[in-house]
């Protein structure tokens, strides 16, 4: 409620700070703990998107942060709301995504009695968030929210959690708004760039590995100019596939799970590795086996915007504390030595990538997810956005889909199931004219499948493709590998997903043969509604390269017979 004495409630001050930061949308599940903040949305120009579970709301905010580079905003209630949201907070942490989660909190005068749903947010999120705090004094809201934007976006980005005591939100104060926050850019020094020039001059076989956050289309374009000028092959790390245009002759493929053996060999043959933007975590480093720790066996340049990440795992030959964009802008100005052999081997590596991803591998059963990915990559166009969560089904995306633009793959590098549906909702909200496709596993989908209702409520016609194999396939794969034949706790009985879609007010289609997919997809598009395409997939079709039967037989043959 407005007053005419120049004061505002804490809730009003808070939402005005978000307006000042250019926030256009916030994702929430409401709670009585932050009514005054909710009320302030009533007459302010930020769209409040109400979700069905805080894990979904937090994943939506994370997806916004991931693709825009500015913090996605999420509001949740205390205790159970905050703990539900932790799924998205953890993704933002591992994926280095800017995000701010506002959490309702009990009144200040009840603290430490374990009042209704009370949590100590600094303690609970202390190791998961980049910063967790609580606002005691409404006059400090502008200062703290401003700091939250700086903290979430700068260096290595991450999530900030801010608890809001409910009586603080209703207190009236007279305070000025904080100005718009720009993420802090760190640029490489000329001394570092000349060292890099010398290293590039002396290298026969350099290789670029890209990952992490703080990328943009502009930074990606700059990277590709640098790589093309020097003819250096570029590979993208796990679920960062859309950071490089796969049609460029310098694209070498995906360094995630199930890597092209030729790419692995090429990386191992490199005499100079440039890791730009990423941390090279457990997945892309192939469980930390690719490079020796702490001293890689190869000349190793690590470019990262967070100074704490440099030297954290790998002791680089040259460490450069810079954002990817600032680094690539400087790198593309370096002088390229003539290296025809490198040019030829880079072109060969790209040909190897094309061969690896060109044609779907044969699969048991009627539906081949690889063929569907091949069909989609030709059909969707460069602006199509793919989202996913975690599960073996995602292997077909990573191998066969070909990304061309930044932000067209929105998936959790942290491997969190349930991410794809909320991420698709958020992407369709941001990019209404672009196709947004969520590819989900059957287990994965039902972790946040209720957010399909959010897509229906806000008329966001996402298309969810569910790969239904009746199992938590990834875990079955590990069971067959380690405890062959002893399948436990991994079979799931699914609902009729077509009926699920229509019950929610969407469109649904069942596909039991690959050849029926294009018609189902056309039906989904024509409906103009959020849609689910239910694929019946053979559980034996466990990866792009092998089957469950083959994994079990191999494990039994190697003596793993419990
Ligand atoms: C939130 C969460 N819970 C559990 C896991 C462990 N996990 C990884 S993959 C997986 C199974 C995925 O099953 P599904 O979505 O059906 O995909 P599939 O592997 O069958 O293709 C599980 C349980 C996880 N990664 N994330
Ligand atoms: Mg499954």
- 556: CA distance to ligand 1 center in Å? 24
- 393: CA distance to ligand 1 center in Å? 10
The confidence score (pLDDT) of residue 4 equals: 77
Give the C-alpha separation, 556 to 562, whole Å: 9
Protein residue whose Cα sits closest to atom 2 of ligand 1? 417
Nearest ligand 1 atom, CA 444: 15
Give per-residue burial for 268-292: e unless 16+ CB within 10 Å, then b: eebebbbbbbbbbbebbbbeeebbe
Place of tokens 């609580």: 134
Output the CA torsion 407→24→422→217 (10° steps): 0
- 417: CA distance to ligand 1 center in Å? 6
Output the CA torsion 420→426→429→433 (10° steps): -50
Cis link prior to 294 (omega < 30° from 0)? yes
Q: Which ligand is closest in space to the CA of residue 91?
A: 1
Q: Which ligand is closest in space to the CA of residue 412?
A: 1
In this structure, how many other beta carbons lie within 10 angstroms of the beta carbon of residue 258? 15
The confidence score (pLDDT) of residue 213 equals: 98
Nearest ligand 1 atom, CA 415: 25
Q: Which ligand is closest in space to the CA of residue 447?
A: 1
Protein residue whose Cα sits closest to atom 8 of ligand 1? 391
Nearest ligand 1 atom, CA 490: 23
Nearest ligand 1 atom, CA 416: 26
- 443: CA distance to ligand 2 center in Å? 5
Nearest ligand 1 atom, CA 469: 20
The confidence score (pLDDT) of residue 510 equals: 98
- 441: CA distance to ligand 1 center in Å? 8
The confidence score (pLDDT) of residue 310 equals: 98
Residue 467, classed as helix, strand or coil, is: strand
- 473: CA distance to ligand 2 center in Å? 5
- 391: CA distance to ligand 1 center in Å? 5
The confidence score (pLDDT) of residue 561 equals: 76
Ligand 1, pocket residues at CB < 6 Å:
390-393, 415-418, 441-444, 467, 469, 471-475
Q: Hey, which of 89, 444, 468, 490 would you mutate to test ligand 1's pocket, going by the most ligand atoms within 8 Å of its Cβ? A: 444
Protein residue whose Cα sits closest to atom 5 of ligand 1? 417
The confidence score (pLDDT) of residue 560 equals: 87
Give the C-alpha separation, 152 to 99, whole Å: 6
Segments of the chain with pLDDT less than 50: none
Nearest ligand 1 atom, CA 539: 20
Phi, psi of 533 (to 5 degrees): -110, 115
- 389: CA distance to ligand 1 center in Å? 8
Report pLDDT digits (tens) over 387-428: 999 999 999 999 999 999 999 999 999 999 999 999 999 999
Q: Could you tell me how far CA 64 lies from the centroid of its own chain? A: 10
CA distances from 175 to 7, 13, 298 (A): 8, 8, 55
The confidence score (pLDDT) of residue 2 equals: 57
């Amino acid at each position: 409620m407005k007053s005419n004495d120049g004061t505002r409630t804490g809730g009003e001050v808070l939402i005005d700070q978000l307006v000042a930061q250019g926030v256009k949308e916030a994702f929430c599940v409401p709670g009585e703990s932050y009514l005054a903040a909710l009320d302030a949305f009533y007459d302010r120009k930020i769209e409040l998107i109400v979700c069905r579970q805080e894990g979904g709301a937090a994943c939506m905010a994370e997806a916004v942060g991931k693709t825009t580079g500015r913090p996605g905003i999420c509001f949740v209630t205390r205790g159970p709301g905050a703990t539900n949201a932790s799924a998205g907070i953890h993704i933002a942490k591992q994926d280095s995504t800017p995000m701010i989660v506002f959490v309702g909190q009990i009144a200040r005068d009840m603290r430490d009695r374990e009042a209704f749903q009370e949590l100590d947010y600094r303690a609970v999120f202390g190791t998961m968030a980049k910063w967790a705090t609580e606002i005691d004094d409404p006059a400090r809201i502008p200062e703290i929210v401003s700091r939250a934007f700086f903290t979430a976006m700068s260096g290595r980005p991450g999530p900030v959690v801010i608890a809001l005591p409910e009586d603080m939100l209703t207190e009236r104060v007279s305070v000025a708004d904080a100005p718009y926050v720009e993420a802090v850019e760190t640029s490489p020094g000329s001394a570092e760039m000349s060292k890099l020039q010398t290293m590039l001059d002396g290298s026969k076989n350099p290789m670029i590995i890209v990952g992490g956050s703080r990328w943009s289309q502009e930074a990606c374009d700059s990277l590709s100019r640098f790589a093309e000028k020097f003819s250096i092959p570029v590979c993208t790390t796990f679920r960062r596939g859309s950071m490089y245009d796969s049609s460029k002759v310098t694209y070498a493929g995906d360094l995630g799970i199930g890597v092209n053996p030729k790419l692995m060999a090429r990386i191992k043959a490199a005499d100079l590795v440039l890791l730009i933007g990423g941390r090279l975590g457990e997945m892309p480093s192939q469980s930390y086996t690719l490079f020796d720790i702490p001293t890689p066996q190869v000349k190793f340049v690590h470019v990262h915007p967070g100074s704490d990440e440099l030297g954290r795992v790998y002791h680089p030959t040259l460490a450069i504390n810079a954002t990817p964009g600032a680094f690539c802008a400087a790198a593309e100005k370096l002088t390229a030595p003539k290296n025809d052999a490198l040019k030829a081997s880079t072109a060969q590596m790209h040909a190897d990538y094309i061969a690896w991803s060109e044609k779907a591998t044969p699969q048991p059963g009627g539906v081949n997810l690889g063929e569907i990915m091949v069909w989609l990559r030709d059909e969707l166009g460069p602006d199509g956005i793919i989202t996913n969560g975690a599960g073996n089904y995602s292997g077909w995306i990573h191998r066969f889909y070909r990304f061309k633009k930044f932000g067209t793959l929105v998936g959790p590098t942290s491997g969190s199931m349930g991410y794809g549906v909320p991420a698709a909702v958020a992407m369709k909200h941001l990019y209404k004219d672009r196709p947004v496709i969520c590819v989900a596993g059957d287990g994965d989908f039902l972790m946040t499948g209720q957010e399909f209702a959010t897509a229906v409520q806000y008329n966001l016609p996402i298309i969810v493709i569910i790969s239904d194999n009746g199992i938590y396939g990834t875990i079955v794969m590990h069971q067959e590998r380690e405890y062959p034949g002893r399948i436990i706790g991994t079979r799931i009985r699914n609902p009729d997903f077509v009926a699920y879609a229509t019950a929610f007010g969407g469109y649904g289609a069942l596909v039991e043969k690959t050849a029926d997919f294009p018609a189902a997809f056309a039906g989904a598009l024509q409906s103009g509604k959020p849609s689910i395409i239910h694929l019946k997939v053979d559980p034996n079709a466990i990866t792009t390269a092998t089957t469950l039967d083959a994994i079990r037989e191999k494990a039994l043959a190697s003596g793993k017979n419990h």
